[in-house]
Amino acid sequence: MVGKRLILLWLIVGFAGVFIFSSILGKPAVGKGRSAKPPQLYLSDEVLPAYVPPATRTGRYSIGDKGVNRKLFYSICRSYKAKLKKGKPTPKKKGGEGDEEKAEEAHCRWNVYVPPHYKPGTQFGLLVFVNSCPGNLPQGRWQKLFDKYNLIWIGPANAGNKCYVPWRQALSVDSVRQILKAGYSIDPGRIYVAGASGGGRMSSRIAVMHSNIFTGNIPIIGVDYFRNVPVPGKKGFSRGPSYHPSAAAIRRAKRNSRICIIAGEKDKINRPEGMGAVAKTMKKDGFKYVQFFVMPGVGHDRPSAKWMDKAFQFLDAPLAGSAKKAYEKGLKHLKAPKLGLALQAFTRAAGRGWEQDFLEDAAKQRDELFSQWQSDIAELEKLLEPLDKRQANKQLKELCKKWTTYAKKYKKTFQKRIKQAEKKKKASGDK
């Protein structure tokens, strides 16, 4: 009898422990409310091809896709507590924001601007711009700044204020994947998101909720925050929380994100008092890099190139010290020799070393190493047609030893191509 009671007690304690443990894992702590974490594998090999040939196209153009990453979209829906039915959000009864079917009707297109001096082997920054209305390309007064700061522009063409909110956010975040799929080399420390008016508010959400991807934010004439923000001069009034990021995302944003908020002095829609209160609260909450600008005499309008120049300077300033360290690492790896690590270091140094004395040499070393890498790949490609499997595997092994981590993604792709060439050879009847 005693033994049965002990067994029953053990089972009750065991089930209770499993329930508590699964609850802790399934309900992560968040800022205000519960949120699904952005998928950490979003930019991994599961989503992106193992190796993409370097892009060469510059100037203005647009790219299209069949849709956005589904894991990303559903996680955003959950973070907004959108009702799910068989994995899809149902239409909202109030607010008229639409449903997934209507959102899918929006053509998935992104407008891109690449500075004319971009070339394979270089590494540029990326700015995702969320517009308040359809259509999205930098104006002439801003375009020169993207050339100056080595920044690529991308913005979803159909993600204005009337777009279904989770879909709008997914289109904006997925912009990063679209650029990487196209073959552009992007500095992970210079992936920024910006927007104006309603787009500015959306950009401020994205910067915190997806701080594992974005390292900087420029909310223009519009900003949101994840908790109540008292506004000075208005007793009893506060800006309520508009989104609910995970605790991990908030910690990461506080530590790494550079945020430059720009308001118009005469803005009657998103008043500078409220935007300034958000900036002040962010500093109080422990955000390390926060700047607030008020444009004198400007209403609800985009800033001039002068103010955007100041914003870019603020976002890039903390990276200047890392460029020097990267250059020194590159010299060290070159002597080892570890060519892959040296190429990565010189590429990073050349991309961030603005007006520093080592910039010219870093760019020179980068170009020489990248040219050598391309030459080694070209020699390896020759072994595919006609296929020499034994020699191809041998040279691939030597390539990986020579270029180490730099050849990691290429190795996976080339091994697949060897298998494809082998199947093709068998199908043609060759022995």
38 contacts: CB under 8 Å, gap ≥ 6: 72, 75, 76, 173, 209, 210, 212, 213, 246, 249
For position 83, what pLDDT does the model report? 59
Q: In CATH, which of 3.30.70.270, 3.60.20.10, 3.40.50.1820, 3.40.50.300 is domain 59-303? A: 3.40.50.1820
- Phi, psi at 151, each rounded to 5°: -120, 135
Q: Burial level of 114, CB count in 10 A (0-12/13-18/19+)? A: buried
| Coil/strand/helix, residue 113 | strand
> Residue 154: which H helix or E strand, with range?
strand 151-156
For position 321, what pLDDT does the model report? 87
Q: Write the CA distances from 258 to 263, 311, 317, 323, 356, integer angstroms.
A: 17, 10, 10, 17, 22
Q: Give CA–CA dist 202/171, Å, rounded.
A: 12
pLDDT in tens, the chain (431 residues): 556 666 666 666 665 554 444 333 333 333 333 333 433 434 544 445 567 889 999 999 999 888 788 888 888 888 887 655 555 555 444 444 444 444 454 468 899 999 999 999 999 999 999 988 877 777 778 899 999 999 999 999 888 888 888 889 999 999 999 999 999 999 999 999 999 999 999 999 999 999 999 999 999 999 999 988 887 776 545 566 778 899 999 999 999 999 999 999 999 999 999 999 999 999 999 999 999 999 999 999 999 999 999 999 999 999 988 999 999 999 999 998 899 999 999 999 999 988 889 999 999 999 999 999 999 999 998 988 888 889 999 999 999 999 988 888 889 889 888 888 888 888 876 54
Q: Give CA–CA dist 182/75, Å, rounded.
A: 25
> Do residues 91 and 138 make contact, with C-beta atoms less than 8 angstroms apart?
no
> Do residues 31 and 245 make contact, with C-beta atoms less than 8 angstroms apart?
yes
194 contacts: CB under 8 Å, gap ≥ 6: 127, 128, 129, 130, 200, 203, 217, 218, 219, 220
pTM: 0.83
Ordered by start, the domain boundaries in the chain are 59-303, 321-427
- Phi, psi at 318, each rounded to 5°: -65, -15
Local structure of residue 234 (DSSP, 8 states): S
Reading the block at residue 400, the tokens are 């990986």
For position 49, what pLDDT does the model report? 56
Q: Give CA–CA dist 141/146, Å, rounded.
A: 10
Task: Tell me, rounded to whole angstroms, the distance of Cα 5 from its chain centroid.
Answer: 56
Antiparallel, parallel or unpaired: β 88-89 and 84-85: antiparallel
Q: Give CA–CA dist 13/410, Å, rounded.
A: 51
For position 243, what pLDDT does the model report? 85
Q: Burial level of 352, CB count in 10 A (0-12/13-18/19+)? A: buried
Closest CA to 240 of 28, 98, 425, 31: 31
